[in-house]
Structure 1
Amino acid sequence: MFKKLRKKTFNIILAFLVFTSLGCYISYKVIEDKDKPKITKILPSSSNTKLSFITEESIVDKIQKVSKLVVVEVDLNEKMVIDNSWGDWDVFKKLQRVDYYGKGSYSIDLSSIDNSKVKIDKLNKVVTIYLPKPTANTPSIDYDKTTFESTEKGLLRFGDIKLTKDESAVIDKEVIARMDNKLKEATIYDVATKNGQDTVQNLIKPIVDDNVKINVIFE
């Protein structure tokens, strides 16, 4: 009888310790969750994979006021060849051609305009506005339009070319640099200048008399 009582007492104490520990753990998790940043877990659509993604809250670090007038946009294309060949023999070659598409633009910074940049000649009915020259904005790659050709493989090469994140970043940087050089060619800059003058004149015309001449000069 004494053994049964001791066993019963032991079971009661054990159950008490288990439930106490469980309660402490739940309380700890509740407090811990309150201190953590909110996250959203996006589960994979296939139940056969263990891959999952976690997105954390976006934080706005700084908001800047931008006053830019876009005067021209340019569609850009850059062809690249990714070479993963072993030496110069055809049997060991592995190449992939990629057509990168992107967009570049020119804009005029209007943030520095004040009364000193506007001259009004009432006698001759001429308004002259001095603006900074149009500047090229960094091009961006349109990955939805970018096309990848099939991998060209030698007789002794197998599989497709797989790039690491660092390798892809290096290629993207080179593509953007080449697009930027094209964007800064004299012919495109001249178009941006002409479009800039026309755009500013068309913005001002509705608020002045028809017989007033508008000059736009880039400094």
Structure 2
Amino acid sequence: MNWKLWCLFGILFPALLGMGAWQLQRADEKKMALERFHDQIDQPPRDWMSFLNSPIDFAQVRLEGGFLDQDWLLDNQIEGGRFGYRVFTPFCLNTATHAPQDSKECVLVDRGWVAGNLDRNILPAIDRPEGNLILQGRADHISSSVILGESEPLVNSPYRVQQIEIGEVSEMAGVPLSSWILRLLPGQRGVYKQNWQPVVVGPEKHIGYAVQWFAMAIVLAGLVAWLQFKPEKAVMDS
């Protein structure tokens, strides 16, 4: 028995099966996320404070208040083959206008996508509506993004970052931010191109990836079996 071959098989085969199982799990997660999103499509908007009492992913919510005077640009966002940024701006509710600074009810708003300049020294000019605003959007959580560059010093707004961190934005804004964010709906004041989707990679792709991993596991098992028993067969034939 070729023990090196079986040791390699013992490492690779479970790993391939594990990757396939993980992709099936991701497919289930994406399927459930899409189901939650579609359940909320036709629901009327809820007041933000009532939403916080019974939060639901992707619920449509309504806020009244104003934007703070800083913007955040999430780097390396591609739309239609074009490089750009997603714009995030903190928004504080009117119900807390006269409250202490550290007790304001504020939320980070995803305002959509803007095109970038190939010259990295030139940032897009971000317009921000002032005064009292009524906004509608969908409640969501910040998702992780692929970090392709180094973090930059946070000097002047708009701040260009590789990853949106609620704690970091809260510290720079000087107000506590909800763990939820608001994905601004098209047609709202201050919105840019809103291309957000509840899932980027659909469940069917994850199922396809799972099939590939399981297929590689089967091929590996067949190859190891063939290599292990081929010499025996050769002796028998002779």
TM category (shorter chain) comes to under 0.3
Which protein is bigger by CA-based radius of gyration? Answer: 1
Structure with bigger RCO (C-alpha 8 Å, 6+ apart): 2
Larger relative strand fraction: 1
Give the TM-score normalised by structure 2.
0.22
Give the TM-score normalised by structure 1.
0.24
